[in-house]
Structure 1
């Protein structure tokens, strides 16, 4: 039987693509620097598509729940919660499939799980202690997505806009936005909402202290 007081704290941070959830996650991470903490991105758990052609891979709806290997994410997150190390997959955005390499991840006292659909599956929600939804207007999100995908993922402007109109926006309203009702905290304005981030950090520190994990600054 796992000692609940020694169990890692799992914080789920979700929201639409470009909402600022990565900024919020990194801000919490920075505020808790010095603690035992890690960020896990749901995008790491996109399905392995090595058996598909490049054309088929590009046609996949990456904003649909079925695009993710949720079973593996649940299995590995649960292992980390039980203080067991895992071999986390690596996703290659340019090849649209999982890399051949993995990353060895040791359990930490705080786990921040970030992703667009982490609140969609009840089994995954049940593994979280704090559930956060980061909210932002559609126009802000598409501008941020364009900037990110061109700079970090080597995508063309045409492909980004096409994907946004075809799948990203409709999937946001069908699958992502409805998960807002499962959130414990809704953060408008993303990473610019310093008050919300400070409140979240204080809550996490409080839980860490109660579980005897808090490290003095």
Structure 2
């Protein structure tokens, strides 16, 4: 979508003219990604290493379960081979791509979408699972925080493309599990099955055109650079055993330049731009309703197992331009 005005931008910012919290603007008016490290709160610059709480990539497979606010258990391993719909089957899975800078809230947004959908067979695929296997020289650079993990060359796009294609066709795949503390893949990959809905999130999820063209809906999470850096500091120190000085150095040397060069341009290709990620309930509601409407058109809700996820309330009042722009988007599919 080359025309910036074909995008839907969902924001609560006073700087954007909105109606019911949803506004349209040109991507050219989005401020550049700037950050002043010396303005960060001192409590976000710890000098010690905290105990690690999570060091592996977060693709959902096998026994992963998401619990909704209502207490419903959703199994995110996708459709198992014995699952058969009584109604019309989807020819392809509905693929949602979520892109955004490091620590912008992509994973949180994906989880919120799953909770709101309340559908049993959803896969979440993280781009973090597809870092390339490093050679010995690259391992030494990574240990010194001198390897660029934010550059496209760091990812195995061939394996990623093959995995997405198989999942969309309803086939099972083994997804690598990446350990951030050792910079290696673990010995036990996660088994995932094809699902009715696949959510693929990552910093460069729109980078390769072949992969981007597989997506039915592209969402860009637009979070300001200071917030992203604060989150990255807390995450990498608390969860990945890094020291604050090294995180800051890596950010200025690799993360920020990669955002400016490879990630920020993806805004122009997004169908929806979401401000504040998983905190933007209006955007989440809009995305969920669009997914359910699309699945209705595909005949998904003729299946008994899917009836509980059928849309039960009308679309937003007072925002006909949103429906019109989505209609043009869907017409091009």
TM-score normalised to structure 2 length: 0.62
Q: Distance in 1 between matches of 2:231 and 2:108?
A: 12
Q: Determine the structure 2 residue equivalent to 1:145.
A: 232
Could you tell me which runs of 5 or more consecutive residues in structure 2 were left unpaired when the two chains were aligned. 1-87, 309-333
CA offset at residue 56 of structure 1?
Answer: 2.6
* 1:92 aligns to 2:179 (yes or no): yes
Runs ≥4 residues deviating over 3 A: 50-54
Report the structure, 1 or 2, having the larger helix content: 1
SS at match of 1:74: helix
CA contact (8 A) 2:89 2:300 kept: no
CA contact (8 A) 1:10 1:111 kept: yes
CA offset at residue 38 of structure 1?
Answer: 1.4
* 1:196 aligns to 2:280 (yes or no): no
CA offset at residue 51 of structure 1?
Answer: 4.2
CA offset at residue 211 of structure 1?
Answer: 2.2
Correspondence for 1:169 among 241, 251, 256: 256
Q: Distance in 2 between matches of 1:191 and 1:17?
A: 14
SS at match of 1:203: helix
| Higher mean displacement: 107-116 or 18-27 | 18-27
Q: Determine the structure 2 residue equivalent to 1:182.
A: 269
Q: Distance in 2 between matches of 1:34 and 1:136?
A: 28
Q: RMSD across aligned C-alpha pairs, in angstroms?
A: 1.6
Q: Determine the structure 1 residue equivalent to 2:129.
A: 44
Q: Distance in 2 between matches of 1:4 and 1:13?
A: 25
CA offset at residue 53 of structure 1?
Answer: 5.8
CA offset at residue 166 of structure 1?
Answer: 0.8
Q: Distance in 1 between matches of 2:138 and 2:153?
A: 18
Correspondence for 1:72 among 159, 167, 192: 159
Q: Distance in 2 between matches of 1:4 and 1:155?
A: 46
CA offset at residue 34 of structure 1?
Answer: 3.0
| Higher mean displacement: 120-129 or 4-13 | 4-13
CA contact (8 A) 2:177 2:186 kept: yes
SS at match of 2:307: coil
Q: Determine the structure 1 residue equivalent to 2:307.
A: 216
Number of aligned residue pairs: 215
CA offset at residue 54 of structure 1?
Answer: 3.4
Ranked by relative contact order (alpha carbons within 8 Å, sequence separation 6 or more), the top structure is: 1
* 1:55 aligns to 2:140 (yes or no): yes
Q: Determine the structure 1 residue equivalent to 2:94.
A: 9
* 1:24 aligns to 2:115 (yes or no): no
SS at match of 1:13: strand
Larger radius of gyration between Structure 1 and Structure 2:
2
SS at match of 2:176: strand
CA contact (8 A) 1:57 1:96 kept: yes
* 1:158 aligns to 2:245 (yes or no): yes
Correspondence for 1:124 among 208, 211, 219: 211
Report the structure, 1 or 2, having the larger strand content: 1
Could you tell me which runs of 5 or more consecutive residues in structure 1 were left unpaired when the two chains were aligned. none
Correspondence for 1:111 among 198, 209, 229: 198
Task: Describe the shift of the 1:64–1:4 C-alpha distance in structure 2 as closer, same or farther (beyond 3 A).
Answer: farther
CA contact (8 A) 1:80 1:106 kept: yes
